[in-house]
A and B are shown apart, each in its own frame.
Chain A
Amino acid sequence: MQSADVGDPSKANKAVKKSVKKERRKEKISNKGDSSKSQQQQSVQQFDGAVAPKSKAELRAERRAKQEAERAAKTLKKEEQAKSNKAKGPQVSANLQVDDPKVQKKAAKKLEKQQVPQRTEGHKKVTLFSHLHQYERSVSITKDIGFGSTGIHPAIIKLGLQYAEGIITGSNARCAALMNAVCQLIADYETPPQKELARHLESKLKPAISFLNQCRPLSVSMGSAIKYMKIKITKIPSDMSDDKAKQELISDLQAFVHVNITLAKQAISNSACSKISDGDVVMIYGSSSLIIHVLNAAFKTGRNFRVVVVDGRPKLSGIRALRHLCRAGIKCSYVLISAVSYIMPEVTKVFLGAHGLLSNGYVMGSVGTSLVSMAAKARGVPVIVCCEAYKFCERVQTDSFVNNEIGDPRDLLATDGSSSGPLIKEDAYKNLDSLKVLHLTYDVTPPQYMAMVVTELGMLPCTSVPVVLRVRSFDT
């Protein structure tokens, strides 16, 4: 049969149906007991442009039709199976498949549709991390955004730039700033006619979030906030007026920040303070807003302790922590991370902040956290992680390679044009092809190095993260 094109499923389907119908009609006619001649004639008319009506040819044609029908049905089945197999496979984010050109093409198309500018990859990529984005901060991502109305609200553009330039750092600060910007977006939002607030607002948020993701990959805290946002938006009743809905959304988001960041900070300080006793030497790494708050609170209760601040390049965020603590009157020392095993015999406790806590009990923190924990464990010094409960995520990770954020390698090179000094110069980096510089942002610490995690729900062992996630899912 000419119409049965095997490669095209929809056409094959129609051809199958046609041939089945024809066969049924033939059977009906034969059952009615028409004369064989008229039967032959009719069958000749159905098989258009056929040769002389011979019974053998008829039979052959019938057999062929049946075969084509079966073949078409088989191909349909195979394609359906292939589709279902694809759906069963693990869903890996496009951000972890940068070395797969097909996945990247799809992601690029998606961004184009949302009118979000895409960042260009850096020139020199470290092959071990070729599955992750390795950007260089050469050109501002907002250069291509015109003054006309694009899909992205100016508050979001401002926020994205602040993230990309490193003006807003720290998971709590980033999350709070995100909620602020989204509140502004919602306040300025007008539902277009004949569209529902809940659906259209979500479609407005998607390009905003993609843009922020391009500026700087989303942190665990931001991911948690966005999930909450989406749940609240879908729960808006359809009969509520737009103004009221917007007001409620804004107050909900502000309450999220208040409960999960501000109030949690106080609860955690109260519990963690009890673990700092007189005469303690507390070590901290980098600058975590929560840890600084805990230490300030403990100092205010009159405890006598001193702090060792460990710092790491290139961010040198420990200097900020040092400034805050010294201003409060706490005695501090400052070392670089290379001296951590030297200073460890003096230390009695280590307090660390976390970027996020994973479901298998691993703690994701700024790069260097795992080093400090391992050094502490080797000397029997207890490591206490303070982390708000909204930073618990359902991800599971056992190493720092699979999922990480690669920063700009130029941050590690010499910043000023001085020709002396130990740091690599920019020209040397550009000219030497075999020289690659890696700037990791996060690392992952196994739970056996941590003594406990302090959250607003109390003091827990690291392995209790799934329990907390379960308890919280009952609340929301």
Chain B
Amino acid sequence: MATQFTRMLAGRNTAVMLASLGAGTLATGYLFSDSTAAAERRMLYPPSADFPDLRKHNNCMAASLTPAIYARLRDKATPSSWTLDQCIQTGVDNPGHPFIKTVGMVAGDEETYEVFSEIFDPVIKDRHHGYDPRTMKHPTDLDSSKITSGVFDERYVLSSRVRTGRSIRGLSLPPACSRAERREVERVAVMALSGLQGDLAGRYYSLGEMTEREQQQLIDEHFLFDKPVSPLLTSAGMARDWPDARGIWHNNQKNFLIWINEEDHTRIISMEKGGNMKRVFERFCRGLKQVEQLIQERGWEFMWNERLGYILTCPSNLGTGLRAGVHVRLPNLSKDPRFSKILENLRLQKRGTGGVDTAATGDTFDISNNDRLGKSEVELVQLVVDGVNYLIDCEKRLERGQDIKIPSPIAQFRR
């Protein structure tokens, strides 16, 4: 594959390698040295003039960004010219909610996490419950055979789902990518997916070219993603040029699905009705491995390093980027005052069945893992399996008029 991409890739891989060896932000950050009026403007306005007013803000970025850090990082850029102001724009524009703490910053490319590590590291630590990227390593494990007791009682669990994201090394991320890069992501992903066979064989639907009938079909199946309306995403520039190079791929059996160029290069989803989480995860791991192999055959790879695991646009999705969850009926347990504490100790979170920020309908909840970074995929899915089994057990006990116990809290990281 002797294109301009190969040449660029070689250069960027070196930078990334240096970064992951910890060669320091100075080695991989480029200071602006152009002599245009843009540079003059920067001199006319010292960092203190540009420091955002974060006094009414409540997000991870605002909690960690000091004038001193800003001053040191403002005039730096990644090799593809992504700057700190661009990372934090979404957090400046969206002060946050008094109850929900959003992250407030995004990466524009793989090098962002190195060049701007002075702000990203504390934000990562804050968001990922104390994971310290400077000292800790993230384990990756996609061996689904290790999962035990992964089939739930289907009188309670209505559906099971695992999702993650993957970024293609050498191409900028959705906040930063140009149209050409985004189109290249689409080409690379679609090419790889077309090589899947057997139960994974499927087809691609480009958002811009799908027919109205295809569109309706995908909506009915709950597969279609739409142009982001959340200001968290639009302020970060992720909706630019919509719907150019966006699309949805799914297998013929409709239980393995990929979103292309939404909030990440790719989002991979394995799901099915019922409670067979083990099979969902098995297909997830198999599909991911095959896609990775198919892109590697053509000289591409996923963004990953041992400090941060899989590199994605939002720092909240670093590590595994994995959310494994179920829709589960818990009519008795959900009314018990100990429900929240039980979830907390099991390191699980609840959402409404519409997804994040929706309310539960009836007694059915979306229950999934809280953590993303510092534990492997296998560990997190096992945690969900064990946790959901515990919740179902509690539900059954309450049905029988028996008492339940709050479990002891699960340890955060392997030390």
Asked if A pairs with B, the answer is: no
Which B positions have Cβ atoms within 8 angstroms of A? none
Which A positions have Cβ atoms within 8 angstroms of B? none
